[in-house]
Structure 1
Amino acid sequence: MRVGLIVDSACDLPHEFTRQNGIVILPVTARIDDQTYIDDHDPVKTAEFYERGLLQKGHHAETEAFSAEQIQDLFLKDIVTRYDVAFCETVTRSRSLIFDNATEAMNSVMAHYQEAREKAGLDGRFSMRVIDSKQIFAGQGLLAAHTLRLIDENLSKNALRNRVEDFTDRIYTCVIPRDLHYIRERARRRGDKSVSWFGAFLGKALNITPVIFGQGAEGRPVAKTRRFDVAVEKVMQYAASRVRDGLLSPYVCLSCGLSWEEINALPGLDELKAACDENGVQLLLSQMGITSSIYIGPGSLCLSLGAEAHDFTDYQ
């Protein structure tokens, strides 16, 4: 049974990890000023965006999910003809239309896939499942990495789906937004009132950098610092301590909307790397993708891991 895994462009993973494991990227359309780009996780394109400062202030940037018709075309061309079973894990449906559009596309594909498989010389049935990851960015990347491990266990498709969906509720994520005003403006344009004007004002007036922590995409402020590097060090120390206490999956996923020079100089990163090495955990470190960076703002950081119930303050 050939099992394929699809993620959308909001999923942050190292490009080489994605390539080596054959993960299929469902692109997202990015509109920056008057230009339209397709975010397909091309590392060269992503690096160019950072180098040119296209995600900085002064540029109007938005993302748009592929339509159901566009997704259907991708499924029929690249998925139906390569796999017997496919799982499409999307960014949390509370933040994007990708889940709904992918589900509509899947339903259409399931009614018409036979012709595409016959043309490709394939026999047998095809099945597919679209899963709401309930995650954003690094959290979605962590779920994808864990799913690959489950695929290697040769589970039945139903058991695999159940294990994946169960793990979505065991992912903890830390987000450090670099600019609360950026998030508030994007939320306002989307009609999302989760970031208040007052909170954004305080963030700028007092130079406050919060640490947002929680399960999945729903988080709360657990620390407020005066400097970005202090917030980063708190998150790194939390993650290193949690790694030493044990994880439910041997991965920590960390994505940063920074240049690689800035990423490698992050305070506490060496401690986290050492903790991962000592405990058989793979640190999946990546430059934040275009879609993620547009959503949360350049210069931000997102870290995710899978663990038993705990709180950020348990490790401070």
Structure 2
Amino acid sequence: MRVGLIVDSACDLPYEFSRRHDLFVLPVTAVIDGQTYIDEHEPVRTQEFYQSGLLLKGHHAETQAFSARQIHDLFMEKIVTRFDVAICETVTRSRSLIFQNATEAMNSVMAHYQGARKVAGRDGKFSMGVVDSRQIFAGQGLLAAHTLRLIGQKLSENALRHEVETFTDKIHTCVIPRDMHYLRQRARKHGDKSVSALVAFLGETLNITPVIFGLGAEGQPAARTRSFDAAVEKVMNYAAGRVEAGVLTPYVSLSCGLTWTEIEDLPGLNRLRDACEQNGVELLLSQMGITSSIHVGPGSLCLALAAEPHQFSDFR
């Protein structure tokens, strides 16, 4: 039985990791200044995106979920003919229509997959499930990495889905936005009130950069610093301390809306790398995808790990 994992373009993971594990990425449409881009997490296009400065102030950017029809067609062509069981993990449904559209597409696929499998020469039944990850960006990437680990353990389909849905409630996420007003405007469009007007005001007028921390996509300001670098160092120290204390899956996911040169210069990154190496944890370091960067703003950072209940202040 071949099991496939599908994520969408809001899921941040290193390209080589995704390719090595045969991860299928469901694209998202990005519209920037009226120009349409299809975000498939292709690394060359992502790097060009950052170097071009397309999300700097003055540019208007939005994302659009693929329609149920588009997703149906992709599932029939790319998934039904390759896998016997498929799990589709989407960005939290509170931020996008992807979960809704993927669920509608799945229902249609389950009613019509037999012909496509017959043409492809695949015997047996096909089954599929769509899971609301309740995560964003690096958090969604962490869930995907853990899911791939579970798939490797050859769990039954029901056990696999149960483990995934239980695990997602244990993912802690840190987000450092570079532009608080950009983030607040985006958040208000999606009903996320975690970024208050006061924090947005402080972020612009006093150069105070917050660290937003919480379970999954539900975060609150946990620290305020005088610079982006100071905020990054706090997050790196938090993550290193949490890794040393123990994590629930051997991964830390870190995505950055920066060029690779800027990423390598991040303060505290080497300390986190050392902590991961010494504790048998893989650091999944990636450029933030186009979709993620549009949602949280260019130059931002997102880190996720899974652990027992704790506070950000416990490890900073």
TM-score by length of 2: 0.98
- Tell me the CA shift for residue 196 of structure 1: 3.4
Question: What corresponds to 1:6 in structure 2?
Answer: 6
Matched, 1:59 2:77: no
Equivalent position amino acid for 1:200 in 2? A
Partner of 1:99: 99
Structure 1 residue 122, shift from structure 2 partner: 1.1
Spell out the pairing of 1:112-127 with structure 2 (5 A cutoff): 112-127=112-127
RMSD: 1.0
Structure 1: distance between partners of 2:231 and 2:195: 19
Matching residue of 2:108: 108
8 Å Cα contact 2:95-2:190 kept in structure 1: no
1:143-191, CA deviations, whole angstroms, 9 ceiling, x for partnerless residues?
0000011001011000011011111001000000111011122234456
Higher mean C-alpha displacement, 197-206 vs 59-68: 197-206
- Indicate the residue corresponding to 2:205 in structure 1: 205
Local SS of the residue matching 1:71: helix
TM-fit CA distance, 1:195: 3.1
- 1:131 corresponding residue in structure 2: 131
Q: Distance in 2 between matches of 1:90 and 1:101?
A: 10
Q: Give SS of 1:195's match.
A: coil
Identity of aligned residues (%): 73
Provide the residue aligned with 2:313 in structure 1.
Answer: 313
Q: Deviations over 1:54-101 (max 9, x none)?
A: 121111000010000000000000000000000000000111110000
SS in 2 for 1:185: helix
- What are the equivalent positions in structure 2 for 1:103-182 lying under 5 Å apart? 103-182=103-182
Residue 315 of structure 1 aligns with an amino acid whose one-letter code is F
Shift of 1:273: 0.2
SS at match of 2:249: coil
Q: Tell me what 2:50 maps to.
A: 50
Per the alignment, do residues 192 and 171 of structure 1 end up closer, same or farther by CA in structure 2, a change over 3 Å counting?
Answer: closer
User: Is residue 81 from structure 1 mapped to residue 77 from structure 2 by the alignment?
Assistant: no
The letter of the residue matching 2:270 is D
Residue 193 of structure 1 deviates from its aligned partner by: 4.4
How many residue pairs get matched?
316
1:111 Cα deviation from its structure 2 partner:
0.6
Task: With the length of structure 1 as denominator, give the TM-score of the two structures.
Answer: 0.98
1:194 deviation in Å?
4.3
The Cα offsets for residues 13-66 of structure 1, whole Å up to 9 and x where unpaired, read as 000100111000000000000100000001000000111101211110000100
Q: Distance in 2 between matches of 1:27 and 1:204?
A: 33
Counterpart-to-counterpart distance in 1, 2:224 and 2:198? 15
Per the alignment, residue 251 of structure 1 pairs with: 251
Counterpart of 1:239 in structure 2: which amino acid? A
- Return the alpha-carbon distance in structure 1 between the equivalents of residues 13 and 22 of structure 2: 12
The amino acid that maps onto 1:8 is D
Displacement of 1:197: 3.2
Structure 2 CA distance for aligned equivalents of residues 199 and 139 of structure 1: 23
